[in-house]
Structure formats: C-alpha cells, structure tokens
Structure 1
Amino acid sequence: MTLMHRSAVSLAAAIREGEVSSVELVTEAIRATDAAQELNAIIWRNDLDALARAREVDDAIARGDDVGPFAGVPIPIKELTMVAGQPATLGSLGISDAPREHSEIIVERLVDAGFVLFGRSNSPEAGPMSVTENQRFGITRNPWNPDFSPAGSSGGAAVAVAAGITPVAQATDGGGSIRMPASATGLLGLKPARGRVPSYVPTWEHSIIDGVITRHMIDTAAILDVIAGTHSSAPYTAPEPERPFADEVGAAGPARRIGLMLESPTGHAVDPECVVAAEKLAAQLEKLGHRVETVNPTLFSFEAITGFLDIIINSWLWANPYDNPELAEKYIRERRHKATEFHAGQYAIAAARLYAESASITVQWGRDFDLLLTPTMATTPPLAGTVLDEANRDFSGPRVTENQMVAFTAFCNIAGLPAISLPVHTSQLGLPVGAQLIGRPFGEAELIRVASSVEEYFGWTTRFPDGFQ
C-alpha cells in the first residue's frame, strides 16, 4: 500500500509528528501522476508551486505554528472549480485558460485546513455528462481497467484517489457526479445535503454541491467538518450538526428502517451486477440489526425530470461564460441552443415544479423509512469513449447508458438530499460496483454512522487496482 492509500487524517498526523514531510508527500504525488499519465486524471499541473507550499507547511510545523488539521496533504481541484491564479476551462476548447481571479468557498476552506493544492482533475465539458471525456483534455480512464470509464463528472478526481496519486480529491455533484465515479472506481462518494457546503452561487437551481471523493470514512467525515458551515457571502447554509461529523465514524446508533429500491425510478433496465451490489449492502445491514424492506417511494414526475434536464440545466449551460462557444462539444452546443427555445415563464414553472414535488418526496424519510438503499447506477462502468460519442452523434437519441448511469442519483440533487455511494461489489469483469444510501434532509450524520459500520466488513480501504497498490 502506498502512502497515498492511507487516510488523509493519518497522513496529516504523520506530518505533524515528523514521520513524513509534506514535501515527501507532494513528491510522491508528482511521481504517481507521472506513472499514471495514461489514465489522464490530472490535466493541469503546478508541481513547483505545490512543492513550494509543502516546504512552507513543513517550516511552519517545525516552528510550532497552527497550520490546520490537514496541513501538508496534497489534494487536486476539479477543472470545473475556480481557484485564484489557476485556469478553469471547464474542460472546453471554447473557454480561455487565463488564471481566474477568485476561489470558490470550498477551495478557501481546503486551503485554510492546510491542504496543498495539487493540480486540476479532468471533467467533462461544463459538467452535464456521466463520463469524464472532452475534446480539450481527452478521455480519463478507469485504473481498474483502462478500457472502461471511471464515470463522471468527477472522474479525474476519483482516478486520482483510486490510482494513489492523492489520498482524497475535491469534487462536485450535480446529478451523481461524486457518487457515480466513486462507484466506478471502488471509492467513497458522499454528496452532502443542499446548503451543507456553502457556495457563492447555487447553480442548476440549487442542485450542485461541493464535496470530496475518498477511500476512508474518517476522511469523508473529517473533511466535511472543515468544508461545511455558515459563510457570510453564501445565500443560505444547512443547519449545524449536533456534533462533528468525524465523531459519527464508528459511533453506535439505533437500528434504522431501510427502504430497498431495486427498480430504476426512470424505468431503465438495471444491470444484475448493480442489483447484487445493493442486495449485498442490504444483507449486511440486516445482520447489523437494521430492518430492510422493499419500497416503492414517490419520486419526481416525468414533467419535473424533463424540466430539470431540458430547461434548467440547458439554461445554465447557456449562461456559462464561453469565449468561443462555437468550439464547444457538439452536444453542449445543442443544449445551449435548446435553452433559446423556451421563455422565462417556462423556466419559472419548471423550477416551481421541482420545489413543489420535493416537498412531497422528502417527507417519506422518517415517515416510511429512515434511509433509502439503491444501486448507485443502473449500469456497470461503460467502455471509455462510448457515452460522449453517442451524445455528440445523436444528442436527441435515447442515450440509454447515460440515462442508466444517473437513474438512481439525479433525484437526490433535485430534492437536496444527502447520499453516499459505498464500494461493496466487484463485477465479473473486475470492475467496482457501488450501492447508494440516501438520507433524510440534512441527514449526513446518520449516513456516515451507518456507512462506517460496514467499512471493515467490505474491506474497501485495502482493495486497489492492479499496478496501483
């Protein structure tokens, strides 16, 4: 096991205790990035700046300064996320690589926590794609089998962790973009509740949320502690938790009623391997004393989902600040054009429908069940290059694989619910397959507590792709 397969919490402690230096960790991240170039996880590098920052951290620790709970640990930032002084092309040929002037709130908090910013991870152009591929930087590949995709849109982030480049990676989730890559690469992916991690501008009608992809539950929880909380410039924030999220890892809790949903809410076929993943997690939770029952919850109507995809997301894509929109991917150009085919009143109706239906959906948590258990995706990871190619060839076509990938995840974003993907199964092809737990509004603590109770049983912290142990 390489240093980077350890938890970020343990690495930060090792740096403070002098067992390893930040410079050594960043040097290892540089070496691992070079060794994994064929995976195309990191598409912009700041090696010298990261080393300089690591030396500053080491010097500060030697002086006894308080440098934050994660001081010296390297972390990549997703290409969709703004960092002052770094480019953020959104993965597009149509957007300049000029340095940005400001950082997102999550970046400020990661820096305040002591993380060393290490490069930028690949994403699909502008984010609305379930794989990590674009014309500007190319295809990001799955370290478990490079013929396959690590999913998206935080696929570069997931590959950085799975391949041992860094112990954790910053990510975003607008319809499954943390959970799908976590599932495809054998990692943990928590999508926080709406407002838990503040942002200056809540995009996609408040559906996108910042977070991280990790291997260890303690990292998921401890990093949430440093990136969550109120911010004077954010329009709203989630209620404060009763205690630190890190205290929920390994904590005892009451038996819960867990609803099991194996049929896709969108009506798409579900791959048997994905069903097996959910059933494996259900069986272990039952052994731990929870009550698991099959349920058929009320979720969003066809009209609501269509409005979200065709009106709201397309509108935000149109609003992206393209320098040369004619250079965007074909499917992006088509989606931007569709945003001009409806009027503001239709947007208002689509947004209102989402909030109205959310109100009748979220009350099921606590009333009919405490947690909802599903496959993370309705399909195993697709072959690299196929999903983007399908979208560019015929955007108006069925796009079956893309829709299967988001079938169980997107409604959580629309409703603002927290959800986590757990790596509980390996397919016959040797690819990871995750199962998803969905919590009540602002219920991350319960998700972390229950998820951490199965971490040792499933053993995902010691399972690595061949060649990246």
Structure 2
Amino acid sequence: MADLSVESTAREQAAAVRARGISARELLDLHLARIAERNPELNAIVSLDEERARAGARAADDALASGAEVGPLHGLPFAFKDTHAVAGWRTTYGSPLFASHVPDADELIVERVRAAGVVVVGKTNVPEFAAGSHTFNTVFGTTLNPVDPSRSAGGSSGGAACALASGMVPLADGSDMGGSLRNPASFCGVVGLRPSLGRVPEWPLYNQWETTSVGGPMARNVGDLALLLSVLAGPDPRAPQALGDPGSVFAPPLSGSLSGLRVALSVDLGGAFEVDDEVAAVVSGSAAVLSGAGASVSGAHPDLAEADDTFRTLRAWHFQAKLGRMLAEHPDAFKPSLAENIRAGESLTGADVARAYTQRTALSERMRQFFTSYDVLVLPVSQVPPFPADQEFPTAINGRPMATYLDWMRSAYFITVTGCPAVSVPAGRTRDGLPVGIQVVAPHGAERRLLEVAAAFEEAVGPLG
C-alpha cells in the first residue's frame, strides 16, 4: 500500500486489490479523503453516500476473501454520471424536476460497471439534462476546473472529468452528444472517448434508433480508458444497434506506434469554425510530436459542410421528442438555453428531419472515403481553452461573437454526426497553464487502432505537468 495513491493508475489500483496489496476498504478511504479535501471547492461528486460506499467496499473485500471470481474493476471507487440511472441512488439529471428522483433499476452501462466490481460512492455532476458543455444546474450548482477553479470543467461530463483529474475517482463514465466526453476531458487534462455508434450499447432509451448520443469512458490515461471501454463495450440483445465485438478486444495492454501513420491535421477544417489562438497553437504543435515519432502529417481535412445543419436539426428534434411534453407542463423549470433548443424542435417538419439524415449519410460516406487516404484525423477538441466558470458559454472567440451556446462546440459536434470514434488526449497547455487536448478521429469501428494511436501520442508528448 505504501506505493499506491489516488494518483496511481486504475490498472495499478485494481491489480493491488486483486493481489491483496490493499483492501477495497483502504482504497476507498484514500479516495474519500481526497473527496473531502477537493470536492467542497470543486463540486464534482454529488449525492455522495459514504456509509453505502463503505458497505460496498466491505462486500468487495468479502468476495475476494471467499475466493469468488472478481471483475476487472473489483474494488475501485466509482461515481456514475448523474444522467445514468442507478438503482436505489438519487439520480437528478441536473434538473429540479428530478431533484428527489430515485430509480428502481440500473441502466445498461451501470449494470456493466457494477458487474465489473466497482464500489459506488455517488454521482458526478452534470448540466441540466446534459445540455451544454459547461456543468452547472440549480440542484447542485457549478462544477469547477481542478487546474484553475475560476474556470469551467466543461460538460456535460464535467463532474466526471473534474473528479478524475483531481484524484477523487480512478475512472469515470459519461455520455457524448455534441462533445460531452471530449470537451471536459480537454478542459481538465484527462482522456475521453466518444465511441463509434453502437460500440457502447445503452438501455433503456426512449428511442433506440436515435443516434447522436453515445455512452463512453473517461480516464487519466489511455491504458485506463481501454480498461473501462473493455467493460462498457459489447453487444446486448436490448440494444439493436450494438456492434458485435466483445469488450475484451479493447482491453489493455496497448501496443501502438506512430511510425508510418498517415495523419491528416486541421486546425479549423478549412475555416469551418473559429479557434482560439492558443488552442490552435497546441493543435498545430502536435504535428511536430507526431512526425517526430514517425508519423506522416499532412494538412488535410474532409468536407463536413453539412455537419452544422445536420447536428442542430437532429439535436432539436431529439430534445423536443424527449423533453417537449415536460417543458409544456413545467415551462419555468428549464434553463432558457435548453428551453429554446427544445422549442426549436417544435417547428421541424418531416422534410427537415429527412434532410438531416440524408446529409448525415453523405457525411458518413465522405469520412469513409477520406480514411482510405489517411489513418486518423487530428483537430481541436474544443475551440476554446477553459473559460470563466461564471459564464454559461463563451460569447466570443478571438473577438468574433458566438451567437448561441452551441457555436463554440463545432469542432466536437461536427465529428458527432459522422458516427466516427474520437478521443480527446492531453496535448499541451495555454500560457496560463490551462489544459488543451487534441481530438483524434478514426474510421467507424476502429476503436482498438484509435486507442493504440492515442497511447503512442500520449507517450510521445510526455508529461504535461
């Protein structure tokens, strides 16, 4: 136990529990101490229940002592994103309408992580109904950036990224529609993966055929990310679009090289969006890291001209279908930006939705063709570094006004509507020391290769402090 801390990798912590080098109770105590130290300021973990967590740790130790077969995450403290239903645990979705809501069943992602042996400690904070890439709500308040608490931790998996980066938990789950796994990972200096459509099945859903939001893993390093993906991935009969590969194909160790890798790198996809100068510098600087490790880097990008209309149409349609009736019944219970987005879906016609899906099909095909010439695409995760936490969203980039709370997230949500997997990997810092990640995108279904590339980049770029 002497060499183990909350900063140790999730793989090291899980191996130590299995080898009896540390008990689940001792490991929990380490993390509860860190939570007590950092969470009052950062507000990453909500609905904390130490008594129930201690009971879970005792059960984990008893299972190991009995000789029972244990899962790959056995004994690891874990806090689920507060949009994921956890049986018997307060789950608010960041909404005052659900402030006292306690589900009676686990959703599929929670089932899988619990079956892998985690010790549940609580939930991680989210924006209201996971809308927007800044984590604040009227139930729990704002989650702050662990590197600079005056700044945003991102969102919607902002509580998860903050808890990871500050050592409160060794792994975290999340979900991603317009960047909710990638953006907070970039803001907090951790790793977040938006998997391919169907890679991480979800159930129950109001619409199993809705394909903009996916669940996925977050971690402090790529090897730990692969560990959690191996638990989350794999088919399930309740999820008809699930891909067939078993989760085990993504398990560490990862062995990758950048030698000979064909990289297309673009700061702004040919002027498709504004990018903060310091973010642009980090993304451009990653070219030297990649080429220095043997990759062939070209300035190239796919044509994603229809991505903006496609995403905004499908997002509004999805929000109206899911939340429209609730907004009509409780018009004052939603933050204005979310209410506006829901109402935007009311005027959509069948032709609008059909156009969006036709465009999405074209975008997917264009990406498939693009990846016959390149192995990965590298671009910014977020167009800005972490912004002040008292702002709902950045109102300008390089002096150029941002009209809506979505404008500064194009670099993430343009990739969403391609259906391709994308990982945020720490790549540098601003002059003020704020984390900046790069987004690495691979062909649909190529998560194993993407993880190997990300791990090789992580090794090449080295510690960022």
Q: Deviations for 1:159-191, whole angstroms, at most 9, x for unmatched residues? A: 101111011111111111111111011111111
RMSD between aligned alpha carbons? 2.5
Quick one: which of 310, 321, 341 aligns to 1:304?
310
2:9 counterpart residue number: 7
Bigger mean CA offset, 242-251 vs 148-157: 242-251
Matched AA of 2:348: F
Quick one: which of 108, 112, 120 aligns to 2:111?
108
**In 1, are the aligned partners of 2:156 and 2:181 still within 8 Å (CA)?**
yes
TM (norm. structure 1) is 0.90
Taking the aligned partners of 1:129 and 1:242, their CA distance within structure 2 comes to: 30
1:280 counterpart residue number: 285
Question: Does the alignment pair 1:403 with 2:413?
Answer: no
**In 2, are the aligned partners of 1:264 and 1:407 still within 8 Å (CA)?**
no
Quick one: which of 26, 29, 40 aligns to 2:28?
26
**In 2, are the aligned partners of 1:354 and 1:414 still within 8 Å (CA)?**
no
Taking the aligned partners of 1:129 and 1:427, their CA distance within structure 2 comes to: 23
Taking the aligned partners of 2:148 and 2:209, their CA distance within structure 1 comes to: 32
Residues 319 and 226 of structure 1, relative CA distance in 2, 3 Å threshold: farther
Residues 366 and 333 of structure 1, relative CA distance in 2, 3 Å threshold: closer
Q: Indicate the SS of the match to 2:6.
A: helix
Return the structure number with greater relative CO, CA threshold 8 A, min gap 6.
1
Shift of the alpha carbon at 1:276? Answer: 2.0
Taking the aligned partners of 1:79 and 1:426, their CA distance within structure 2 comes to: 29
Counting only pairs closer than 5 Å after superposition, residues 257-276 of structure 1 correspond to structure 2 as 257-264=262-269, 267-276=272-281
Question: Does the alignment pair 1:208 with 2:213?
Answer: yes
Q: Deviations for 1:174-228, whole angstroms, at most 9, x for unmatched residues? A: 1111111110111111111110011123679311111121112211111111110
Bigger mean CA offset, 116-125 vs 20-29: 20-29
Q: Indicate the SS of the match to 2:340.
A: helix
1:35 counterpart residue number: 37
Question: Does the alignment pair 1:44 with 2:76?
Answer: no
Taking the aligned partners of 1:97 and 1:39, their CA distance within structure 2 comes to: 22
Residues 243 and 327 of structure 1, relative CA distance in 2, 3 Å threshold: closer
Gaps of 5+ in 2: none
Q: Indicate the SS of the match to 1:213.
A: strand
**In 2, are the aligned partners of 1:53 and 1:116 still within 8 Å (CA)?**
yes
**In 2, are the aligned partners of 1:23 and 1:58 still within 8 Å (CA)?**
yes
Q: Indicate the SS of the match to 1:5.
A: coil
1:357 counterpart residue number: 362
**In 1, are the aligned partners of 2:171 and 2:228 still within 8 Å (CA)?**
no
Q: Indicate the SS of the match to 1:240.
A: coil
Taking the aligned partners of 1:2 and 1:218, their CA distance within structure 2 comes to: 17
Taking the aligned partners of 1:452 and 1:257, their CA distance within structure 2 comes to: 16
**In 1, are the aligned partners of 2:265 and 2:300 still within 8 Å (CA)?**
yes
Taking the aligned partners of 1:314 and 1:347, their CA distance within structure 2 comes to: 14
Aligned residues: 455
Shift of the alpha carbon at 1:244? Answer: 2.1
Taking the aligned partners of 1:283 and 1:240, their CA distance within structure 2 comes to: 34
Matched AA of 1:337: R
Q: Indicate the SS of the match to 1:453.
A: helix
1:291 counterpart residue number: 296
Shift of the alpha carbon at 1:401? Answer: 6.8
Question: Does the alignment pair 1:459 with 2:462?
Answer: yes
1:466 counterpart residue number: none
**In 2, are the aligned partners of 1:179 and 1:191 still within 8 Å (CA)?**
yes
Q: Deviations for 1:265-319, whole angstroms, at most 9, x for unmatched residues? A: 6733211221222223221211222111011311141432442344344443426
Quick one: which of 174, 177, 194 aligns to 2:177?
174
**In 2, are the aligned partners of 1:204 and 1:312 still within 8 Å (CA)?**
no
Taking the aligned partners of 2:355 and 2:52, their CA distance within structure 1 comes to: 45
Counting only pairs closer than 5 Å after superposition, residues 213-232 of structure 1 correspond to structure 2 as 213-232=218-237
Shift of the alpha carbon at 1:353? Answer: 2.6
Quick one: which of 335, 344, 347 aligns to 1:329?
335
Counting only pairs closer than 5 Å after superposition, residues 350-429 of structure 1 correspond to structure 2 as 350-387=355-392, 398-399=402-403, 402-404=406-408, 406-429=409-432
Gaps of 5+ in 1: 392-396, 464-469
**In 2, are the aligned partners of 1:311 and 1:347 still within 8 Å (CA)?**
no
1:394 counterpart residue number: none
Taking the aligned partners of 1:21 and 1:62, their CA distance within structure 2 comes to: 10
2:189 counterpart residue number: 186
Taking the aligned partners of 2:157 and 2:393, their CA distance within structure 1 comes to: 15
Residues 208 and 450 of structure 1, relative CA distance in 2, 3 Å threshold: same
Shift of the alpha carbon at 1:238? Answer: 1.8
Q: Indicate the SS of the match to 1:425.
A: strand
**In 2, are the aligned partners of 1:387 and 1:402 still within 8 Å (CA)?**
no
Taking the aligned partners of 1:457 and 1:69, their CA distance within structure 2 comes to: 28
Taking the aligned partners of 2:325 and 2:369, their CA distance within structure 1 comes to: 35
Residues 20 and 2 of structure 1, relative CA distance in 2, 3 Å threshold: closer
Taking the aligned partners of 1:314 and 1:401, their CA distance within structure 2 comes to: 17
Q: Deviations for 1:317-356, whole angstroms, at most 9, x for unmatched residues? A: 426699845322122222233332334x145324423432
Identity %: 31
Matched AA of 1:386: Q
Matched AA of 2:114: V
Quick one: which of 148, 151, 159 aligns to 1:148?
151
Shift of the alpha carbon at 1:368? Answer: 2.7
